[in-house]
Amino acid sequence: MQTSPAWVLLLGLIGIATCAAPPTDQEETHIEQALTYAPQSTRSVIFTDWNMARHEAKMDSLNSDSPDADKNRFYQQQDQTWTSFSPSISALIDYRAQRWGTNVTDFVWSATLAIPSDPIDPTSTEVANVIRLKDSVDLDYVGHFILLNGYDLERNGSIGIYTATNASRQNLKRTSKPADLQLYQELQAFALLPEDRLLIAAHSRQSIDSILEVYEHPELSFRNKIGVSSMLDHMRGVSTALLQPFLDECREYRVGRIMAQLHENDQKAIEDALGASIAKLHDYSLLGFGYRMDGNQPTAIASIAYDSTSRMRDDHQTRVRLGTEGYTLKKHYSYQRTAFTTTPQETQALITTLVLKSDDPTAKTFHNMATAHDFLFAACN
């Protein structure tokens, strides 16, 4: 399945409000864990910390065995987060979908990866989902449900790999509804990694193999890309995040396309912030957008990183505009630029981080994230 960059970007705008305390500097964060399994060729990573989502909902103990009324309340509270997921991912998240033996109430974290699907066409992508399951989840039970849904199992050591075959599809055609068949056609492969308690659900066996290669060789992971480690230092404690390397086709997009998705109150703030005179930034290495709660304040974090060879425009007037005119009314912000050094080769890079805090503790994550996204994604204009 091919996934458009627009879909991937929109997905990253939508987050989950949480109030859990950020991890300490010495503690490995969930997003750092997730990036360990993403190939370096990944075109975007969309991360959600479901533990923090349950904490915000005051449902820390929620799981798939909880009363349906509690699960439905959590599902409805978080529903806006999933409106742009493909049907296959929604099926995994929906607590009412029992066909996989697990659902979002059993997730610790999840990462949706857009992985290149065609070496000849670099713009083609397909989705793979890496999901960390709770320690209490019976992985054999999950594997049993996958088999019941028509997938064939092969073993690679302790790892179970489940793939769809023509024979299994023929069996399903006699027993399944058309909507179910479409779902199964999207999810062509699964993998269960018991040692790491991971469930991988992907649109192809090729994507599964790409992730398993990184699993065997962590030095090939997205986490080791230049700029990622330093950017994550600025984004500690986020419950939702989007990380995206530079994509040539991003130049096709315009701020107006994203603005169409925003609340009308945010549109004017963006129009004021992104006036016609704003400088266009190009040749960045990495974009990052995250969300967390700082005390009672919803906080969106937007970062953009450049390597040492970038032709970044160092326009003082633009920085003044960004820092003084961007957000008014009930929003306030801080704006900072810091230099950092990454990798053993001492590669120099520059990271710019924008932190937006809302005075309204009930502010929707979507609006904060989307505003921050527009603010920096003008780089693609």
Report whether pLDDT(184) > 70.
Answer: no
Q: What is the pLDDT of residue 153?
A: 94
Q: What is the pLDDT of residue 35?
A: 94
* Token pair recorded at residue 277: 């005179």
Closest by Cα among 178, 232, 183 to 29: 232
pLDDT 10s digits, 256-265: 444 444 455 5
Mean pLDDT score, 62-83: 73
Average per-residue pLDDT in the chain? 66
Closest by Cα among 228, 220, 359, 202 to 296: 359
Q: What is the band of 270 on the pLDDT scale with cuts at 50, 70, 90? A: very low
Q: What is the band of 180 on the pLDDT scale with cuts at 50, 70, 90? A: low
Q: Output the pTM of the full model.
A: 0.73
Report whether pLDDT(211) > 50.
Answer: yes
pLDDT 10s digits, 297-329: 767 677 777 655 544 434 333 332 333 333 322
Residues 6+ apart with CB under 8 A from 260: none
Q: What is the band of 203 on the pLDDT scale with cuts at 50, 70, 90? A: confident
* Token pair recorded at residue 24: 């300490």
* Token pair recorded at residue 315: 């326009």
Q: What is the pLDDT of residue 291?
A: 76
* Token pair recorded at residue 212: 């398993």
**48 compared with 359, residue with greater pLDDT:** 48
> CA–CA distance from 257 to each of 9, 200, 206, 301 (Å)?
11, 32, 32, 21
Assess contact for 211 and 7: CB atoms under 8 A: no
pLDDT 10s digits, 102-138: 777 889 998 989 888 877 776 678 889 999 999 999 9
Q: What is the pLDDT of residue 28?
A: 85
* Token pair recorded at residue 66: 């909880």
Q: What is the pLDDT of residue 36?
A: 94
Give the Cα separation of 100 and 251 in Å (integer): 39
Which residue in the block uniquely carries the two structure tokens 């075959």? Answer: 165
Report whether pLDDT(212) > 50.
Answer: yes
Closest by Cα among 113, 129, 132 to 242: 113
> CA–CA distance from 376 to each of 128, 190, 267, 308 (Å)?
26, 36, 15, 19
Q: What is the band of 254 on the pLDDT scale with cuts at 50, 70, 90? A: very low
Q: What is the pLDDT of residue 6?
A: 31
**148 compared with 202, residue with greater pLDDT:** 202
- CA pseudo-torsion sign 124, 84, 259, 8: negative
Report whether pLDDT(147) > 70.
Answer: yes
Assess contact for 349 and 342: CB atoms under 8 A: yes
> CA–CA distance from 329 to each of 46, 168, 322, 360 (Å)?
30, 58, 16, 11
* Token pair recorded at residue 321: 């505009």
Closest by Cα among 102, 155, 169 to 129: 102
The most confident of 62-76, 151-165, 231-245, 362-376, by mean pLDDT: 151-165
Mean pLDDT score, 144-168: 86
Assess contact for 284 and 243: CB atoms under 8 A: no
Report whether pLDDT(70) > 80.
Answer: yes
Assess contact for 336 and 235: CB atoms under 8 A: no
3-state secondary structure of 303: strand
Give the Cα separation of 282 and 316 in Å (integer): 16
Q: What is the pLDDT of residue 213?
A: 96
Give the Cα separation of 36 and 226 in Å (integer): 14
Give the Cα separation of 123 and 257 in Å (integer): 19
Mean pLDDT score, 331-352: 42
